[in-house]
Chains A and B, each alone.
Chain A
């Protein structure tokens, strides 16, 4: 097989974005019939490299070969597809109101009398395709009403229908339940073994790499650091390569949590935006100097839980107390005044005012203090600027200028701005949601250190995150949230990822395996 030469070859591919080298002199061969995993942190350049292959991104330098043919400068998705390269994007490119068959044949519909859509033939073709690859679908279903796993199947079939034999999967498991993930892996193994497909898997989950791939390439800051046969490596080595140093977290926490319960949530219930129960009787306590992590698949009530505590969402039952004092059913401003600070999950809409300056964003909440406001009328600009500059230095906020809109900051610096503001209140309680989502590695380190500093200083912290590694690293205790209820409680040190995964999915995963 290897005698045929690589199915895809990157030669010194460099992609220059304004201010960033997204791909830095990457040379890589993908062999026919293998599962190749491409790993790296956010922003490492994995997706950019695959966009080059799929014709969505033109390389600044270097060249690309597909099946022995050099690719010209006019490469685009259409040409990529014609050469057998298909891509399943992380965000599906499907038309929700169309049927499964209509989506799969989109752009190359069979026609009747040269004008009309030939539904019979489309349905037949799609069904035959599904059978051939062992991916059955209901051709007449409306795609928008399918589960995410089935939508992904439609995407895969769409690529196969266009004759793909090299399939790029961009973070395919990010949106799947564990059971759907298992099914996807089955499918990938089968199409590689039986149909001789080549699969390129973009991911940052090392467990998947080990389970599925033949070889793995590690990227960091645009560079391809190396390609290893999966059998000859392990997660630890890969993690160290991805991050650029050995990753040891454990001794960051100092001292045991205090005895005093600071934040107590009792029987909390709330509805989501559609009016359906989202939080269903949650009991939680957070002690002084303790981080309690909330883990769960997104959409299981985490958002509503934090919004309730902060007074952003009406609760339908239960209480929230701070040092024994009931703080529920107050306005967000009152709750903040009583000593709760919040880092919300959506930094652009809730965390910051994107159009206001960095200074103004750092000041929010303190604008009424005499230092910044003369009799509540005059804004004391100079004091505000001096204060903002001090915070920016302390929290290493790198901006083009503190008088620029917050929207001009990078994700990591936006997050640091919010952190700086919220931490500066010196509140006894911190509610933190997704502190490092979409943030680069350097900033993640910094943010984690700052959060632990707060913990060590005696703050009671409730941490909600979709990132299990983050939760494991920071939390003293962990609870799992599933469909608005707490399904498991764990002490730090006694935590087993498998076990957590089981509770996060309400036990469905284990049952599915039994079945």
Chain B
């Protein structure tokens, strides 16, 4: 089994976890303002497509990211307008986004690239990998931490950054207050709607960037439905991690680990079973959340 449990497993863990990390951070932002955006999966898928499109058209990974970023802003505003401004049901909008993403990417794949199923080619410029010799020198973990693509490192920065933002800056306070007690924020002369818009846009951008990582990070290709419900896993991670960035990060890493493990076990176990692993873990995680919450509640009521 040493071909399963080795450093490569950790490397794969990081690779598979990163899109979930980015997407979960986005979903966390909307969760903090009191909206559960399940449309992140569709946002991720569209982000993946537009990143490939930008990269291919301009021959530059930077343009790929720019495309994904711009799309994220638009999708975030779209989500804000419909689910918050017009107060339609957030789940319906999320489901609509997911269905739209599936159809739109397939349609654009055919009309723009004239292919079915997937699009790859030398014209797509992948994201650069970063190589830091000092990082390489750390024993054991060095080779795992070093040599990843740009967005892996960005995602780590984002974990720390979003925690600082939410818990150490007044703007972050307002964002959290807009979800927990919007009237309190309004009475203080700040608009909860603006905070929700900000959260929605941040969510859109993070979700589409996670898509960019999918299509430009390791694969340099777009294929139909390549998000493979990772957005939903991200939603689960947000709930599991209690909307707290470091905890959500750990939850996403756990998911990545299980996913990577499943891939590497395919030699021994049918792949149909191993590919179920992350989703089974998701269900188990959710049950754990409920049980933990119940226990916390009963101890709290005993204490009072």
| Selected contact of B181 from candidates A95, A111, A274, A276, CB within 8 Å | A95
Query: How many angstroms from the CA of A87 to the CA of B169 in the assembled complex?
Result: 26
Q: Which residue of A lies closest to B188 (CB)?
A: A107
Contact of B170 with A93 in the complex, beta carbons under 8 Å: no
Q: Does A20 contact B (CB under 8 A)?
A: no
List chain B residues, Cβ under 8 A from A115: 169
Chain B residues whose CB sits within 8 angstroms of the CB of A276 once the complex forms: 301
CB distance from B142 to the nearest CB of A (A): 33
Q: Does A504 contact B (CB under 8 A)?
A: no
Q: Does A14 contact B (CB under 8 A)?
A: no
A321 and B82 CA atoms in complex are apart in Å by 56
Report if B212 contacts A (CB, 8 A).
no
Instruction: Tell me if B139 counts as interface (CB < 8 A to partner A).
Output: no
A107 nearest in chain B by CB position: B188
Contact between A95 and B189, CB atoms less than 8 A apart = no
Which residues of B in the span 144-185 have a Cβ within 8 Å of any Cβ on A?
Answer: 164, 168-170, 173-174, 176-177, 180-181, 183-185
A356 at the interface (CB under 8 A from B): no
B187 CB within 8 Å of chain A: yes
Q: Are B169 and A103 in contact (CB under 8 A)?
A: no
Please, how many angstroms separate the alpha-carbon atoms of A274 and B297 in the complex? 9
Flag if A107 contacts B183 (CB, 8 Å): no
The answer on a CB contact under 8 Å between A77 and B301 is no
- Complex: A109 Cα to B188 Cα, angstroms: 11
Given contacts A81-B189, A89-B187, A274-B301, contact A95 B170 (CB under 8 A): no
Query: Could you say which residues of chain B place their CB within 8 Å of the CB of A89?
Result: 187
Question: In the complex the two chains form, is B170's CB within 8 Å of A94's CB?
Answer: no
A-B contact pairs, 8 of them (CB 8 A): A77-B187, A77-B189, A81-B189, A95-B181, A95-B185, A106-B190, A107-B185, A117-B168
Complex CA–CA separation, A117 to B173 (angstroms): 9
A77-B189, A98-B177, A107-B190 are known contacts. Are A275 and B298 too (CB-CB below 8 A)? Answer: yes
Q: How far is the CA of A87 from the CA of B184 in the complex (A)?
A: 12
User: Within 8 Å of chain B (Cβ to Cβ): is A319?
Assistant: no
CB of A98 within 8 A of CB of B173, answer: yes
The 3 A-B residue pairs with the shortest CB-CB distance, nearest first, are A107-B188, A78-B189, A109-B170
The closest CB in chain B to the CB of A81 belongs to: B189
Of B164, B173, B184, B298, which is within 8 A of A94 by CB?
B184
A85-142 at interface with B (beta carbon < 8 Å): 87, 89, 93-98, 102-103, 106-109, 111, 115-117
A-B residue pair count with CB separations less than 8 angstroms? 58
Contact with B along A64-78 (1 / 0, CB 8 A): 000000000000011
Question: Would A275 and B301 count as touching, CB distance under 8 A?
Answer: yes
Chain A residue with Cβ nearest B189: A78
Nearest CB in chain A to that of B300: its residue: A274
Contact A106 to B188, CB < 8 A, known contacts A93-B181, A98-B177, A274-B301:
yes
CB distance from B189 to the nearest CB of A (A): 4
Closest CB of chain A to B91's CB: distance in Å? 21
Q: A93-B183, A96-B180 are in contact. Are A107 and B169 (CB under 8 A)?
A: no
Is there contact, CB below 8 Å, between A106 and B169? no
Is there contact, CB below 8 Å, between B298 and A106?
Answer: no
Q: Say what secondary structure dominates the interface of chain B.
A: helix
**Given the known A-B contacts A107-B174, A274-B301, are A93 and B169 also in contact in the complex, defined by CB atoms under 8 Å?**
no
Known: A77-B189, A93-B181, A94-B184. A106 touches B173 (CB 8 A): yes
Chain B residues near A274 (CB-CB < 8 A): 297, 301
A187 CB to nearest B CB, Å: 21
Q: Which residues of A contact B298 (CB under 8 A)?
A: 275
Which chain A residues lie closer than 8 Å to B173 at the CB level?
A: 98, 102, 106, 109, 117
Complex Cα distance, B299 from A274, in Å, reads 11
A270-284 at interface with B (beta carbon < 8 Å): 274-276
Flag if A106 contacts B177 (CB, 8 Å): yes
Task: Collect the chain B residues with CB atoms within 8 Å of residue A97's CB.
Answer: 176, 180
Chain B: CB-nearest residue to A272: B301
**In the complex, what residues of B have CB within 8 A of residue A109's CB?**
170, 173
Q: How far is the CA of A103 from the CA of B186 in the complex (A)?
A: 13
Contacts A275-B298, A275-B301 hold; do A106 and B184 have CB atoms under 8 A apart? yes
A109, B186: Cα distance in complex, Å: 15
Residues B184 and A116 in contact, CB atoms below 8 Å apart = no
- What mask results when residues 95 to 106 of chain B are scored 1 for a CB within 8 Å of chain A, else 0? 000000000000
B297 → chain A closest CB, angstroms: 8
Q: Which of B200-222 contact A (CB under 8 A)?
A: none
Given the known interface contacts A77-B187, A107-B189, the answer about A117 and B181 at a Cβ–Cβ threshold of 8 Å is no
CA distance A78 to B190 in the complex (A): 9
Distance, CA A111 to CA B187, complexed state (A) = 20
Query: Which residues of A sit under 8 angstroms from B183, Cβ to Cβ?
Result: 93
Q: Distance (Å) between the CB of B166 and the closest chain A CB? A: 11
Q: Are A117 and B170 in contact (CB under 8 A)?
A: yes
Closest beta carbon of chain B to A41's beta carbon, Å? 25
Q: How far is the CB of A185 from chain B (nearest CB, A)?
A: 24
| CB-based contact A95/B180 at 8 Å | yes
A109 to B190, CA, bound (A): 12
Q: A78-B189, A95-B184 are in contact. Are A111 and B177 (CB under 8 A)?
A: no
CA distance A94 to B186 in the complex (A): 11
Q: Which residues of the partner chain B approach A87 to less than 8 Å between Cβ atoms?
A: 187
The answer on a CB contact under 8 Å between B181 and A96 is yes
Q: How far is the CA of A102 from the CA of B164 in the complex (A)?
A: 16
In addition to A93-B184, A107-B189, A109-B170, 10 A-B residue pairs with Cβ atoms within 8 Å of each other are: A89-B187, A93-B181, A93-B186, A95-B180, A102-B173, A109-B173, A115-B169, A116-B169, A275-B301, A276-B301
Question: Distance (Å) between the CB of B178 and the closest chain A CB?
Answer: 10
Determine the chain B residues whose CB is within 8 A of the CB of A117 once the complex forms.
168-170, 173
Indicate if the CB atoms of A108 and B168 lie closer than 8 Å: no
Report the nearest A residue to B180, measured CB to CB: A95
Cβ of B168: which chain A residues have Cβ within 8 Å of it? 116-117
Please state if B189 and A103 are interface contacts (CB–CB under 8 Å).
no
A371: min CB distance to chain B, Å: 42
CB distance from A115 to the nearest CB of B (A): 6
CB of B199, distance to nearest CB on chain A (Å): 16
Report how far A416 CA is from B177 CA in the complex, Å.
40
Q: Pick the most buried of A98, A106, A117, A274: most chain B CB atoms within 10 A of its CB.
A: A106
A111 touches B301 (CB 8 A): no
Per the bound structure, the CA–CA distance linking A333 and B240 in Å amounts to 42
In the complex, how many angstroms separate the beta carbon of A131 from the nearest chain B beta carbon?
23
Instruction: Return chain A residues, CB-CB under 8 Å to B176.
Output: 95, 97-98
* Most chain A CB within a 10 A radius of its CB, from B176, B180, B185, B187: B187
Question: Which chain B residues border A106 with CB–CB below 8 Å?
Answer: 173-174, 177, 184-185, 188, 190
A94 vs B188: C-alpha distance in the bound complex, in angstroms?
10
Known: A117-B170, A275-B298, A275-B301. A103 touches B184 (CB 8 A): yes
Q: How far is it, in angstroms, between the C-alpha of A111 and the C-alpha of B173 when the chains are bound?
A: 12
CA distance A111 to B301 in the complex (A): 37
- Give Cα distance in the complex from A378 to B188, angstroms: 57
For A80, give the chain B residue with the smallest CB separation: B189
Are B170 and A111 in contact (CB-based, < 8 A)?
A: yes
Q: Is the CB of B180 within 8 A of A93?
A: no
